[in-house]
Copies of this chain bind each other. A is one copy, B any other.
């Protein structure tokens, strides 16, 4: 299934008992990490999903608390003789990452692909479809959604009735036409039932609430969202520093009609985030205060 784990929940700096905000997702043999601040390799070790095999690391932005754990992860990958390519993906400005790795390691013995993406794009890593939008922070910063699509039901009775050879079934189910001598002979709609809801996780820290964030997050199964400040009175600080309060992120969750909101990226001064949960719950009931190593398996709905 589609597994997710919130590796850490801190903003700005790791503190005792709280690693920096980072998310790992895995589906169909592929795993992707979102951000890696100082120390992220430790919860990755605790989790035991084999972090040395991560396929891609997405960066929301390049502030230190989101990137400084990368060298440690690369260092272990080198020590473990990784051969597989690693994709590093983020907004423009990725030279900070390549320069950092170049200073520390020189030539890395496996391929590192640096991918700078535009403000709004859609790409696939394995069967995970990733979209990004630009959010409202002090520097260029992205929010991401990660979707796993579900194939429509394949109507075996119809396929048999139409005498469609079995070797075409898989192709049709994946939405592709069957052609012969340049002519389309079978189309997916001949054998496919209604479309089915997939799974969606979205991730956004370091922003003011925005309309386009609501669009990106729309109908997520889990929205991992910024919880820099719990006290609603910290709104001025949030505006000044381009962060969000619990209430503001809860409004995004409500407007976007998500199933669950996990708050993360807590200010180091927020010793007990649960103290402020009621403010978020008044707006969006299904808000959960994130904690390090909070994990969930997402399953397709019955249909």
Contacts and interface: CB of A to CB of B under 8 A. Distances in A.
Given A64-B104, A99-B103, A103-B99, A45 B16 contact: yes
Interface string A1-32: 00000000000111110000000000000000
B38 A41 contact: yes
26 contacts: A13-B41, A13-B72, A13-B75, A14-B39, A14-B41, A14-B72, A15-B42, A15-B45, A38-B38, A38-B39, A38-B41, A38-B71, A38-B72, A39-B39, A39-B42, A64-B71, A64-B72, A64-B104, A68-B68, A68-B72, A68-B75, A68-B104, A96-B104, A99-B103, A100-B103, A100-B104
Interface residues of A, number: 25
Nearest to A268: B45
A269 interface: no
A76 interface: yes
B76 A13 contact: yes
A79 interface: yes
B72 A71 contact: no
A69 interface: yes
A96 B106 CA distance: 11
Contacts of A16: 42, 45-46
A104 B104 CA distance: 12
Interface in A97-144: 99-100, 103-104
By secondary structure, the A interface counts as helix
Interface string A50-88: 000000000000001100110110011001000000000
Q: Please give the count of copies of this chain that the complex contains.
A: 2
Contacts of A14: 39, 41-42, 72
Interface in A144-186: none
6 nearest CB pairs, A to B:
A99-B103, A38-B72, A39-B39, A64-B75, A16-B46, A100-B103
Interface string A264-291: 0000000000000000000000000000
A65 B99 CA distance: 19
Contacts of A13: 41, 72, 75-76
Given A64-B71, A100-B104, 6 more contacts: A15-B42, A38-B72, A64-B75, A65-B75, A68-B72, A99-B103
Contacts of A96: 103-104
A3 B123 CA distance: 54
Contacts of A76: 13
A241 to B, nearest CB: 11
